């Protein structure tokens, strides 16, 4: 019976995706083991290491559907590792004497690690599609709202005006960096393992490296420069990458949650009937995707810490840290897929309330423009005097509720230098957006196809 969020019949497609769950399923894992065994047999037959008829027979039985999963379970529990039970079934499926040539010169960890790398490769293909889609949606939002003013916020307080397009472009640039990281990371990470007992391929003599090269060519993986049984930076790098990616998803989710507050109402998650409903408060429209993204990203970060711990392995074959990867790596990928799917849905259908953005720019009676006024007065009064004068007037705005531009215009010291028209221009948020639009344009231009 399913017992975790990731295999729950109720929750599983909220917290992960069917495609990613399939990549990390028992059936796929066993198939990757068999892909390795079949490729190894083919490579070794070409090099004359094993008979060609043995290789053909072995490859004929490298399909997971031919294997008894219940027997694999019981044998794994008895032996402690699943590879030998798979090889035992492979030998029995083959014609007498031919199956004995399978797994020639390999060790359990060669198959396990190479299978994991193949699963990572398939998983990264799925991750890439989501990154591309999120980037496309963010680009559309950045372009559409390039010149839409809204309040920028610092320490949860209104700071100075920005544009919503600028806000989206900052996240676009992050996802573009993730796409670059993925491209750069693949050659480092998608490297197979085939080293034998202690990594030296001693059982194959002088043909070890030739066999390794031929095997990796068959598997479409990079050939390692040296065995990496207990040097796990490749796996750790993948985890850290997904920690960065889901962290960016969580940043978007956090901002959306804040902007969905009743008092703010600047954006909303995509809506469909009943989504975000409360069991007791009919008026509620709760953030849903954002909540899940927050939880998924938080757990990914904790699992990444476990992967980093798994780097500390003993000698040439380890006594336990390796198994940490077995536990957390599938969850990291599945939770990351879930976070990306929720983020893709969120930004793809984000509802933007430009009217409320404009209203919120006015709720401080112009205080959001105090920096603009200070900088405008600076050439006449000096920056420090301008700061102190505007500070005092801001306190009066808070105390009286009167608009900033009105009190500025009544100040005798300010009116010596600025007309009411100039003050109104200084206190208009649309006139204090800096180079937000240019930055949006640059972020859009720097996108990679």
Rounded to whole angstroms, the Cα distance separating 437 from 169 reads: 10
Residues 6+ apart with CB under 8 A from 279: none
Residue 312 confidence (pLDDT): 95
Q: Which domains does the chain have, with CATH numbers?
A: 15-106+196-218 (1.10.275.10), 117-193+228-353+434-449 (1.20.200.10), 367-426 (1.10.40.30)
pLDDT at 285: 83
Q: Residue 356 burial by CB count (10 A; 0-12/13-18/19+): exposed, middle or buried?
A: middle
What per-residue string of b and e applies to 292-308 under the rule 16 or more CB within 10 Å gives b? bbbbbbebbbebbebbb
Distance CA 259, CA 356 (A): 10
Rounded to two decimals, what is the model's pTM? 0.94
Q: What values do phi and psi take at 91, rounded to 5?
A: -60, -45
pLDDT of residue 437: 97
Give 267's strand partners.
352
> Angle at Cα 207 formed by Cα 222 and Cα 225, nearest 5°?
30
Report the pLDDT value the prediction gives residue 3, as an integer from 0 to 100. 83
Tell me how far apart the alpha carbons of residues 255 and 386 are, in angstroms, rounded to a whole number.
33
Distances (CA, A) of 443 to 18, 194, 411, 419, 434: 33, 43, 42, 38, 16
For CA atoms 180, 184, 185, 190, the dihedral sign is: positive
Nearest partner of 138 among 172, 183, 184, judged by Cα: 172
pLDDT in tens, the chain (449 residues): 888 889 889 999 999 999 999 999 999 999 999 999 999 999 999 999 999 999 999 999 999 999 999 999 999 999 999 999 999 999 999 999 999 999 999 999 999 999 999 999 999 999 999 999 999 999 999 999 999 999 999 999 999 999 999 999 999 999 999 999 999 999 999 999 999 999 999 999 999 999 999 999 999 999 999 999 999 999 999 999 999 999 999 999 999 999 999 999 999 999 877 676 666 777 778 899 999 999 999 999 999 999 999 999 999 998 889 999 999 999 999 999 999 999 999 999 999 999 999 999 999 999 999 999 999 999 999 999 999 999 999 999 999 999 999 999 999 999 999 999 999 999 999 999 999 999 999 999 998 77
């Amino acid at each position: 019976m399913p017992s975790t969020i990731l295999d729950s019949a109720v929750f599983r497609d909220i917290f992960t995706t069917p495609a990613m769950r399939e990549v990390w399923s028992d059936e796929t894992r066993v198939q990757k083991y068999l892909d390795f065994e079949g490729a190894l047999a083919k490579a070794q037959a070409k090099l004359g290491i094993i008979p060609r008829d043995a290789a053909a027979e072995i490859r004929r039985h490298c399909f997971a559907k031919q294997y008894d999963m219940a027997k694999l379970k019981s044998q794994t529990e008895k032996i402690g590792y699943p590879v030998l039970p798979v090889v035992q079934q492979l030998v029995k499926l083959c014609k007498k004497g031919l199956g004995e040539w399978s797994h020639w010169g390999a060790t359990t960890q060669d198959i396990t690690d190479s299978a994991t790398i193949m699963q990572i490769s398939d998983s990264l293909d799925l991750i890439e599609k989501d990154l591309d889609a999120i980037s496309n949606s963010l680009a559309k939002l950045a372009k559409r709202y390039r010149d839409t003013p809204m309040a920028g916020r610092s320490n949860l307080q209104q700071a100075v005006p920005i544009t919503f397009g600028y806000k989206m472009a900052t996240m676009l640039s992050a996802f573009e960096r993730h796409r670059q990281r993925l491209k750069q990371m693949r050659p480092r990470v998608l490297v197979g393992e085939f080293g034998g007992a202690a990594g030296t391929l001693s059982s194959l003599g002088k043909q070890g490296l030739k066999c390794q090269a031929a095997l990796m060519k068959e598997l479409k993986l990079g050939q390692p420069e040296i065995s990496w049984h207990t040097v796990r930076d490749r796996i750790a790098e993948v985890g850290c990458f997904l920690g960065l990616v889901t962290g960016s998803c969580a940043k978007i989710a956090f901002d959306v949650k804040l902007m969905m507050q009743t008092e703010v109402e600047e954006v909303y998650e995509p809506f469909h009937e009943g989504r975000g409903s409360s069991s007791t408060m009919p008026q509620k429209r709760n953030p849903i995707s954002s909540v899940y993204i927050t939880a998924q990203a938080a757990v990914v970060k904790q699992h990444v810490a476990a992967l980093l711990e798994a780097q500390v392995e003993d000698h040439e074959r380890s006594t336990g840290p390796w198994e940490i990867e077995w536990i957390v790596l599938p969850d990291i990928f599945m939770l990351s897929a879930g976070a990306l799917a929720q983020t893709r849905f969120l930004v793809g259908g984000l509802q933007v309330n430009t009217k409320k953005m404009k209203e919120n720019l006015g709720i401080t009676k112009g205080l959001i423009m105090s920096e603009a006024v200070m900088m405008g007065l600076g050439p006449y009064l000096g920056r420090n005097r301008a700061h102190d004068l505007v500070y005092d007037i801001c306190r009066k705005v808070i105390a009286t509720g009167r608009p900033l531009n009105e009190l500025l215009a009544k100040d005798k010291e300010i009116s010596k230098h600025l007309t009411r028209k100039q003050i109104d221009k200084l206190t208009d948020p649309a006139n204090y957006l800096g180079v937000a639009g240019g930055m949006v344009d640059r972020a859009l231009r720097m996108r990679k196809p």
